[in-house]
Amino acid sequence: MTSENAHPPVSTTESGPSSEGRSALAEFPLFKGAPAATLDVIFRHANLRRCSADEEILSRDEQAGDVYFVLRGEVRIVNYSASGREVAYAIIPAGGYFGELSAIDGRPRSANVLAVEDCLLATLTPAAFKELLATDTDIAAKVMQKLVRIIRSADDRILDLATLSAYQRVYVEILRMKKPDPVRPNSWLIYPLPTQAQIAALASTTRETVARVLSQLNHDHIAERKSKTLYIRELSKLQALAAKSQPDGKMN
Chain centroid to CA 2:
27
Cβ atoms of 216 and 174 within 8 Å: the answer is no
Q: What is the pLDDT of residues 202-224, one digit of tens each?
A: 899 999 999 999 999 999 999 99
Q: How far apart are CA 206 and CA 203, in angstroms?
A: 8
Residue type at 222 in one-letter notation: I
Buried b / exposed e over 55-85, threshold 16 CB at 10 Å, is bebbeeeeeebbbbbbbebbbbbbeeeeeee
Query: What per-residue confidence (pLDDT) applies to 11?
Result: 67
Q: What is the CA radius of gyration of the chain?
A: 20
Query: What per-residue confidence (pLDDT) applies to 85?
Result: 81
Residue spans of the domains in the chain: they are 12-161, 164-243
Residue 243 DSSP symbol: H
Give CATH for domain 12-161. 2.60.120.10
Cβ atoms of 60 and 109 within 8 Å: the answer is yes
Q: How far apart are CA 232 and CA 114, in angstroms?
A: 29
Q: How far apart are CA 101 and CA 64, in angstroms?
A: 11
Q: How far apart are CA 200 and CA 213, in angstroms?
A: 11
Cβ partners under 8 Å of residue 43, min gap 6: 16, 17, 22, 25
Q: What is the pLDDT of residues 75-124, one digit of tens each?
A: 999 998 888 888 888 899 999 999 999 999 999 999 999 999 999 999 99
Query: What per-residue confidence (pLDDT) applies to 182?
Result: 93
**Helix %, strand %, coil % of the chain (to 5):** 40, 25, 35
- The CATH architecture to which 164-243 belongs is Orthogonal Bundle (1.10)
Query: What per-residue confidence (pLDDT) applies to 1?
Result: 41
Q: Which residues of the chain have pLDDT under 50?
A: 1-8, 247-252
Neighbours of 30 (CB within 10 A): 18
Torsion of CA 109, 110, 114, 116, to 10 degrees: -130
